Amino acid sequence: MKVLVLNSGSSSIKFRLFNMKNEQVMSRGTVDRIGIDNSFLEIENFRGEEYKIEIEIPDHTTGIEMVKDALIDKKMGVLDRFDQINAIGHRVVHGGEKFADSTLIDEEVVQQIIEVSELAPLHNPHNLKGIRICEEISPQKPQVAVFDTAFHQTMPQKAYMYALPYHYYQKYGIRRYGFHGISHKYVTQKAAEIMGRPIEELKLISCHLGNGASVAAVKNGKSIETSMGWTPLEGLVMGTRCGDLDPAIIPFIMEKEDITIEEMKNIMNKESGLLGISGLSSDSRDIRKAAREGHHRAQIALDLFNYQVQKYIGAYLFIMGGLDAIIFTAGIGENASDIRAAILEGVEFLGLKVDQQANQTRQKIAEITTTDSTTKAFIIPTNEELVIARDTVRIVEKCKNAGVI
């Protein structure tokens, strides 16, 4: 089965074509800067050839048509015909409370995704665009939606409720949803595989540390708590997002500075986090370099980032009643050995000791604790596209067996 995975954002579409017989990536790439100047398509195939086409890409329809043409192109392509693709898997950021699993897309599902779009206005409408365009260019092809929130739907009520008047939950669905679910699911399953133990008996903490960052407590294969909340703003210190705050700060700043709700949202989402504290950059590489060179505010930013991760790990190991392994993934988690070391410092009492040499590994699976550690830590590069492709196969086969398609 060949599966095309699409991640449609506001100005970019990332794609990956899998041959699911052996889970080989046949082709991958990005359409970027859609609707802006200098737009381009970048594509790489399994033969290792890379191409970049710089051309005006005014909208998502043109972008997806370009992907389609590139995949069947004589030179760049890997297929003779587009209909050799059996199914398309879409990343959809928010599934609200409606979706606890990936699902075959039909009109009802589209309407439900539209209904929850209010909860992710920056993402869901673009994800939907990708779905609609694929329906148009390939109406017969099964399409599957894979949600970033679905993995966290197993959280108990005590973990997902906020202590606001209950009717806001009933009226607006204000509760914790959690994000990065596709990634947390992948790396925890992989950790169980590496440990050679069934995930149903493991207590794992997954740290997805990228520009956006979240931690999840995964007990017996199920997410029971995560740091992102109603939106991806809650929780850890991130590249430009503030994470946890005393909510009273928000009206205080708005009043003092005489700023609008939109401006305040912008400050919390785009001007805070590592960037806001350091005044330098949202990129952890710049922050770490500046901190090494003695930049005081870069050091504060870094300390806050690491400390916040530690606090969540501490809380999660307590609510799980123990811990078998901590997993680091995404841009920072897979690369920044100093951040990993700082987070794991001083927890030998847990039976967790960092193997300094193994911790130098980057972007590869590695056990970074000493062999005598009873609580393990791993680097596991995330592979969200593969989870989407696997889920697409699973759902399409389930629907075929049930005679739905």
Site string for ligand ADP, 224-263 (x = CB under 6 A): ---------------x------------------------
> Which residues are paired to 238 by β-bridges?
none
Nearer to ligand ADP, 112 or 211 (CB): 211
Strand order in the sheet with 325-329: 222-226, 213-219, 203-209, 325-329, 376-379, 366-367
Two structure tokens written together for 301: 């930013």
Two structure tokens written together for 348: 């030998």
CA–CA distances in Å: residue 309 to residues 46, 200, 280, 328, 344: 37, 25, 21, 11, 10
Strands (DSSP E) contained in 291-403 are: 325-329, 366-367, 376-379
Contacting residue, 211, 269, 310, 370, with ligand ADP by CB under 6 A: 211
Tell me how many residues contact ligand ADP (CB under 6 A): 12
Q: Given the rule CB under 6 A, which of 139-147, 194-202, 251-259, 282-290 is the region that contacts ligand ADP?
A: 282-290
Residue 212 found at the interface with ligand ADP (CB under 6 A):
yes
Two structure tokens written together for 363: 């972007």
Smallest separation, CB 210 to ligand ADP (Å): 2
Two structure tokens written together for 369: 């604790």
Q: Given the rule CB under 6 A, which of 38-46, 125-133, 279-287, 345-353 is the region that contacts ligand ADP?
A: 279-287
Catalytic residue among 37, 73, 148, 338: 148
Alpha helices in 8-54 (DSSP H): none
Among 191, 148, 192, which Cα is nearest to 328's? 191
Residue 332 found at the interface with ligand ADP (CB under 6 A):
yes
Residue nearest to ligand ADP (CB): 331
Sign of CA dihedral 330, 335, 336, 342: positive
Residue 281 found at the interface with ligand ADP (CB under 6 A):
no
Contacting residue, 142, 178, 235, 331, with ligand ADP by CB under 6 A: 331
Contacting residue, 197, 285, 296, 400, with ligand ADP by CB under 6 A: 285
> How, if at all, do strands 2-8 and 24-32 pair?
unpaired
Q: Given the rule CB under 6 A, which of 62-70, 98-106, 316-324, 327-335 is the region that contacts ligand ADP?
A: 327-335
Nearer to ligand ADP, 67 or 336 (CB): 336
Nearer to ligand ADP, 89 or 239 (CB): 239
Smallest separation, CB 282 to ligand ADP (Å): 7
Contact 35, 59 (CB under 8 A): yes
Residue 335 found at the interface with ligand ADP (CB under 6 A):
yes
Nearer to ligand ADP, 96 or 239 (CB): 239
**Window 21 to 60, contacts with ligand ADP (CB under 6 A):** none
Nearer to ligand ADP, 113 or 332 (CB): 332
Nearer to ligand ADP, 30 or 335 (CB): 335
Residue 210 found at the interface with ligand ADP (CB under 6 A):
yes
148 part of the active site: yes
Query: How many whole angstroms separate alpha carbon 355 and alpha carbon 155?
Result: 33
Contact 190, 197 (CB under 8 A): no
Secondary structure (DSSP) of 64-110: HHHHHHHHT-TTT-S-S-GGG--EEEEEES--TTT-SS-EE--HHHH
Which residues are identified as catalytic? 148
Q: Which residues bind ligand ADP (CB under 6 A)?
A: 210-212, 239, 283-285, 330-332, 335-336
